[in-house]
Structure formats: structure tokens, C-alpha cells
Amino acid sequence: MNKKPDTQQNELSDPDFAIRRQQARIEVNKLDSDTIHDEPERDRFFNMVYDRAKDDAAQIPWADLAPKIQITNWLTANPGGNRRALDIACGLGDNAEAISNAGYKTTAFDLSSTAILWAKRRFGDSQVDYQTSNLFELPQQWLNSFDLVNECYTLQALPPVLLHQSMSAIATLVKPGGRLLVYTRLRPADQVADGPPWPLTQQDALAFKEFGYELVDDERFDTARGDRVIPHQFAQWRKLD
């Protein structure tokens, strides 16, 4: 196991962390609503969020500084045995580290080079191969080549106009017979997404069927952020042979 980096312990022991992150969320959402949402890559926006944080993780609205419990539970039941895994849009790297610690040979990428450098600094002795890369311009050698692909909060972070393209890109990465994990917020079908983020409808979230996947498990749960209760889905998919 990699030891927890000191920065993580300091940030988590900061009693103001959640309050400062809530303030940052409001500011970042304002910045994002000024961004042109049909810009295909939005790299300026995401780099700006990581750059302006200046190494303070409380300025990153989605940073929990810990892997998601549903993902770690799944990994405990499904250790890697040196098989290959990819973490999509890894941000500050917590889920990627959990995957690596579960025995997967792990690659993790993000569009933001600042996020990638930050993740590398946080986990100095990491076995994860961190790379700056764009979901919409993936290296050819990644296609159909991972036993496990983990997607957490990326689909909802991109404007709905990019949802089909994002799902299609993610779907290409898993080997036939391999697993895809998708962790996302959900919204009712009759509710208009007023992002960012843009939670998925149940119908959106189940659309991996259209890309040659079968649903293996579908866990629904709520999370609390301040006084908000947020419906979530953690889905496990298998790519058909």
C-alpha cells in the first residue's frame, strides 16, 4: 500500500476544508457558466480551475481527497492480479491510487496537465502511470486494451451535448469481457440539467447497452454535501465478447 501523503492528512484535518470547497464550488460554477459549452474540449476551463487552486485542494469542487467507497468495495471483491486498468479523467488521483493498490497495473489520465502534476506530487511513490491526455483524442494503443476502466464524475462534468461522444470514447477502452465502472450523479427524467455538473438521467446512464455492454450491477445511493442530498448510481458493466 502507498502511504497517505502528508498533504492529504493536512488537508483532511483542516476543519474549514468543506466550507472553503463549498465557496469554491459557487465561484467555479460561475466561471463555468461563462464558458462556451459546445467547445469540444473545454481544456481552458479545467486547466483554469486547477491552476487557480494553487495547490489548495479545497478550491477543487470535486476533490474528496479519498477514493469513493463504492469503488474500493468493488476493488476488494475484484483484485487486479496484475491485470490492466485505466482511470478516466483522474483529477487528483485518489481513485487511480486505490485501483493500483488493489493490484491493477494502472494508467490514469486527465486533460489538465496541472491536475496530472498535482496527482504525481501527492503520491510520490505511486505505481500509477499518470498521463495528460484527452478523452476525445485517445492513444490508439489504448483501444480495447484494459481489463478494467473506471469512470467517476466525468460524464456529468461535460455538457450534455458531449454525452454520447464521451460514452462512446469510454466504451472503446475496455477489452472484450472486461469491466467498466461508472460512478455518477442521477437526476429525474423530467428535471432539466442545470449544470455544471449535469447529472445523468437513468436512461442516459443505461446507454452503455448501446455500446456493446451488459449491466452486471447497479447500485443506487444518496450522498450528502452540506444540506444537499444527491442521488447517485454506481454501475458495473461487462463488455460483451
Ligand X SMILES: C[S@@+](CC[C@H](N)C(=O)[O-])C[C@H]1O[C@@H](n2cnc3c(N)ncnc32)[C@H](O)[C@@H]1O
- Positions touching ligand X (CB under 6 A) are 41-42, 46, 62, 89-91, 95, 110-112, 115, 134-136, 152-154, 157-158
ω into residue 5 within 30 of 0, thus cis? Answer: no
User: Could you tell me the smallest distance in angstroms from the CB atom of residue 241 to ligand X?
Assistant: 28
Cβ-based nearer residue to ligand X, 24 or 111: 111
CB 131 within 8 A of CB 116: yes
Going by C-alpha positions, the residue among 128, 107, 123, 116 that lies closest to residue 3 is 123
User: Could you tell me the smallest distance in angstroms from the CB atom of residue 135 to ligand X?
Assistant: 3
Residue nearest to ligand X (CB): 91
User: What separation in angstroms does the CA of 240 have from each of 111, 115, 149, 159, 236?
Assistant: 28, 33, 14, 28, 13
Cβ-based nearer residue to ligand X, 82 or 224: 224
* DSSP label at residue 109: E
Cβ-based nearer residue to ligand X, 111 or 181: 111
Contacts of 115 (CB under 8 A, 6+ apart): 46, 50, 90, 91, 92
CA 92 to chain centre: 10
Cβ-based nearer residue to ligand X, 111 or 186: 111
Cβ-based nearer residue to ligand X, 108 or 213: 108
User: Could you tell me the smallest distance in angstroms from the CB atom of residue 134 to ligand X?
Assistant: 5
User: Could you tell me the smallest distance in angstroms from the CB atom of residue 52 to ligand X?
Assistant: 13
User: Could you tell me the smallest distance in angstroms from the CB atom of residue 2 to ligand X?
Assistant: 17
